[in-house]
Structure 1
């Protein structure tokens, strides 16, 4: 009952130029940098958003700047560094410190097909204790408010540490009016890769009206406990 609807009711794809995004939680302790590079060479995305970026991951992905010269990297302690790489120029890109733990959220704007587009990438904390549960929920509320402030089309993505069925994720979706890109493509479990028969979808992408989803799927393993999310949109 909770799974089948995700395999139906796919939104019709409209005509227009396509934009391919890659979201990956790389796992801060993972050192298999070349597997990410191989994934990128295979998928050839236009934009890449990484989470759990460490100084070692910055060094391991430096070669991306040759093909993806438009970038923003914010390294943080533990598991909350973040980065964005793009073949296309940004109009602006920055990070904001999302409450309550000041974890960085990337907010990027660009002009695509002559229209403004905002992309927000965020990584709320893992809700394993009472405090972190409330902290995750507050960050989800914060990024929902940020998305609601956008004028124009918006893409919201990241490791939200909440499943499709989490009440706080559903609240974010309802409060923004954004559509889950998974609709019609299945639940696409993304974590944890070390328990393949117990994986759940906690890496997400949501889009506003005027953006249609041509394809969404999980990508090849790169040594992380998360699978990548590969999204092709038409704008």
Structure 2
């Protein structure tokens, strides 16, 4: 009982502090990493609250603070996770067809995003997924020369390519059946962290603005702060809002869907998240189910309707690939649903970009 008396309060206060520490607006990695495990913290807070009810000491007035803090943590985690449940209103509507109505394949794009993990040797599994799901476009992240070589077996079907293999885990390989125009490799913040911009032409002749991103995360092994990651996302977000036509932003953002940065990105860009109202579609970590959250994202403008969204089987990476099929079906009424900047969002974005540069 003495061990429990010592351990339980320490565990409870750890869960409470970990639940809210990310609200401190500092960009150090040891704060920003707590943006990620909110589903796990929800579970831990639930366990801690039950444990306190049945075994916790209640002799001091300070003991009453523990269930209050845990309850607040549960409510807060639930608020963050709630948009990614079926109870929330969907941001991207599903396209519905009437009986006998032909599907509009000429206005549809199927996109696969896969962070393959550079040291992964299961290249045939990735090629098999490509052959099975036949994406119109697929983006490979962490692609190096070995991966570029391995994907030669499928590239004949994808005549439009922008390949930039790197040995630093930030290589990007873009393959497309659709005509790719104005494609450019860009280094928005860091000289060794590329991103991609290009325009895909659908069979309907509609052009789609595409951004492929993979910024560096804040972590003890990568970068001591999140500013560079945040700035790259915000630069892309500002560009996306200025585009007149449909936009897709896809990649491993090294950030979770519910973080302050990702929500700020949505308000700055005006883009929508197809997962809202459907599920988390957690893609990392593929090997550890208890440490899993949504790191790989596809954000779209209001011009699209969703046909299909799926997390694909693991292929030896620490990420699951994700597959999405979208139809260009603009509805003027949806324009009112575009996220808008709030408060000091514009100022915060500009300051973050300035500091990173």
TM-score (norm 2): 0.63
**By percentage of residues, which structure has more strand?**
1
Alignment of 1:210-229 (within 5 A): 210-229=303-322
Per the alignment, residue 18 of structure 1 pairs with: 108
- Verify: 1:178 aligned to 2:256, yes or no: no
Once the two structures are TM-superposed, the CA of residue 83 in structure 1 deviates from its matched residue by 1.0
- Verify: 1:123 aligned to 2:203, yes or no: no
- Verify: 1:141 aligned to 2:234, yes or no: yes
Q: Which has the higher contact order (CA 8 A, sep 6+)?
A: 1
Per the alignment, residue 42 of structure 1 pairs with: 132
C-alpha change, 1:149 and 1:74, in structure 2 (3 Å) is farther
Q: Secondary structure at the match of 2:298?
A: strand
Once the two structures are TM-superposed, the CA of residue 29 in structure 1 deviates from its matched residue by 0.7
Q: Unpaired segments of 5 or more residues in structure 1?
A: none
Per the alignment, residue 9 of structure 1 pairs with: 89
Q: Secondary structure at the match of 2:126?
A: helix
- Verify: 1:189 aligned to 2:282, yes or no: yes
Larger Rg: 2
* Structure 1, 183-192 or 2-11: larger mean CA deviation: 2-11
In the alignment, is the contact (CA less than 8 A) between 1:122 and 1:157 conserved in 2? yes
Partners of 1:158 and 1:115 in 2: how far apart?
A: 22
**By percentage of residues, which structure has more helix?**
2
RMSD after superposition: 1.6
Q: Deviations over 1:163-197 (max 9, x none)?
A: 01111111101111100121232111100112112
TM-score (norm 1): 0.94
* Structure 1, 169-178 or 13-22: larger mean CA deviation: 13-22
User: Structure 1 residue aligned with 2:120, among 30, 39, 44?
Assistant: 30
C-alpha change, 1:26 and 1:77, in structure 2 (3 Å) is same
Per the alignment, residue 162 of structure 2 pairs with: 72
C-alpha change, 1:131 and 1:138, in structure 2 (3 Å) is farther
